[in-house]
Amino acid sequence: MQRLLILFTSLAAFTQAVQAQPAPPPAEPPSPSTEPTTAPTTAPPDTAKTPDIPPPAPPAAPAKPTEELPKRLSVGKDSPGAYFSPGLLLQGWFVYDETVRKAMTGDVSLSTSTFRVRRIEISAGGEIVPKLVRYRFMFDPSRVRDTLNTATAVNAAGMPVTVRTPASALSTLQDFYITLQSDIADVSIGQFKNQVSWDGFNSAAKIIMPERAFVAALVGGQRDLGLRIDKTFPKFMYSVGLFNGAGQNNFDNNNQKDVGLRLEVYPVKGLTIAGMTYDSIGYRSRSGTKDRWEADVRYENANVLLQSEFIHDRDVFADGAKPIDSQGFYVALAYLMKGIGDGKWKGDLQPVLRVGYYDPNTDTDVDPSMVAASSFGGNDERTDIEVGLNYYVRGHEMKFQVSYDRQQFDQSSIKPANNEVILATQVWF
């Protein structure tokens, strides 16, 4: 018993002495050349003198990638895989126009400035039967301001006033069509653009200046009701259309129709060469008969963009009247400088130069019948010299544009030159 008491007393004293000792300094890490890559499977020979080396921590699990938001919404009950995809294009402008007229007392500057909602395109499309039936529609509420009716009314004081009201809310309907798809042809029925002008035929969200070139805006991008057959392949594209010829949202009131054909080839990467014809068929002497012929080329590769169109028109403006021939062209050159700026505002900067020309009557220098037309004012030929600057914050999805357009005419004494500045911003998806 006495020996047991002595043993417990000795153990207690030894334990207190060990606890009172300072902790040994941490061992220096081994050099990279001798550091083991894995923890040893057996203890080192002298475990009493060498502290254990903890095994390396397991590698951290990779962060879970952020889930991408769905771009398509599943729709339909009887067609698995059917989807609905909405879209939006918003363009806001500030426009400044200045015209300097000659007067007896000297030059008179007439200038106007206005803020403008240029486009509010609300669209959606998708497939109701995957890879077989596609659809699309698009409204633009801002277009209700494009055409205004002018009426004379009387105010409360009995004085005459001029009232300007939108012509029709129906002008807001832009596109609507249903497409039957196949490997060699997509057949669409509804309302869509005709094939005139590369700039007009393609999306307004991707044009290289706030506004299209004058000749492209004048005769291109026109919508009509009809039937279209088209298909794009790796090396070429074709588009054939049969239209009412009565214009956007209008039923036909005669048997005359318009037919269009557009062919594009892509011989090398970035290069598009195209030709187009658009003609009225039947009742060729009727007012509204029109013919369009076009050739265009577009090259976009690396940082360089070159784009040009030539369009020749023939129009009958009155029943039985002689057709009027007109023509125009433009050439545009742009260069993209990437990675400009810092942070969220880092984007791409693109200076643009565009020169255009339009002759509304190739048979005469001054057409008296055009004197009242606001676009010409009696001047036959118009030249546009434009410079612009685009800043792409997120490509075409978010960009700022500024342009200056010098519009001048041959008969400057009848219609002087006009200077136009446009500041534009765009959001698109």
Cβ atoms within 10 Å of 297's Cβ, excluding its own: 15
Binned at pLDDT 50, 70 and 90, residue 31 comes out as very low
Q: Among 31-35, 94-98, 260-264, 269-273, which stretch is predicted with the lowest mean pLDDT?
A: 31-35
* Section 228-240 average pLDDT: 98
Note whether 380 and 365 are within 8 A (CB): yes
CATH code for the domain in which residue 268 is found: 2.40.160.10
pLDDT (0 to 100) of residue 143: 79
Residue 381 lies inside a defined structural domain of this protein = yes
Q: Encode burial over 79-100: b for 16+ CB neighbours within 10 A, e otherwise.
A: eeebbebeeebbbbbebebebe
Q: What average pLDDT score do residues 337-364 get?
A: 94
User: What is the percent of the chain where pLDDT is above 90?
Assistant: 61
Residues in contact with 191: Cβ distance below 8 Å, sequence separation at least 6, in sequence order: 173, 174, 175, 176, 177, 223, 224, 225, 226, 248, 249
Q: Which residues contact 5 (CB under 8 A, 6 or more apart)?
A: none
Answer yes or no: is 250 within a domain.
Answer: yes
Q: What's the mean pLDDT when you consider all of the chain?
A: 83
As given in the structure block, the two tokens for residue 333 are 């050159």
Mean pLDDT score, 336-347: 94
pLDDT in tens, 109-150: 789 999 999 999 999 999 999 999 999 999 999 877 665 556
The token pair that represents 117 in the structure block: 């909602």
* pTM (predicted TM-score): 0.77
Would you say residue 307 lies in a domain?
A: yes
CA angle 5, 6, 9 (to 5 degrees): 85
Residue 314 to residue 322: CA distance in whole angstroms: 10
Q: What is the pLDDT of residues 245-277, one digit of tens each?
A: 999 998 998 899 999 999 999 999 999 999 999
Higher per-residue confidence, 199 vs 31: 199
The burial class, CB within 10 Å (0-12 / 13-18 / 19+), for 128 is middle
pLDDT classification of 415: cutoffs 50, 70, 90: confident
Mean pLDDT of 95-120: 82
In a domain, 209, yes or no: yes
Give the residue-averaged pLDDT of 187-204: 95
Number of domains composing the chain: 1
pLDDT-derived band at 154 (thresholds 50, 70, 90) equals: low
Residue 149 to residue 276: CA distance in whole angstroms: 34
Q: Which residue from 190, 64, 215 is spatially nearest to 135, judged by alpha carbons?
A: 190
| % residues pLDDT > 70 (the chain) | 72
Higher-confidence position of 321 and 158? 321
Domain with 408, as residue range(s), is 91-117+202-428
Q: How many other CB atoms sit within 10 Å of the CB of residue 109?
A: 9
**pLDDT for 278 beyond 90:** yes
Check whether 390 has a pLDDT greater than 70.
yes
Give the contacts of 52 (CB within 8 A, at least 6 positions apart).
43
| Residue 138 domain-assigned (yes or no) | no
Can you give the pLDDT at residue 409?
86
In a domain, 64, yes or no: no
Please check whether residue 359 lies inside any domain of the structure. Answer: yes
pLDDT given for residue 30 in this prediction: 46
Task: Tell me, yes or no, whether 275 lies in a domain.
Answer: yes
Q: How confident is the model at residue 60 (pLDDT cuts 50, 70, 90)?
A: low
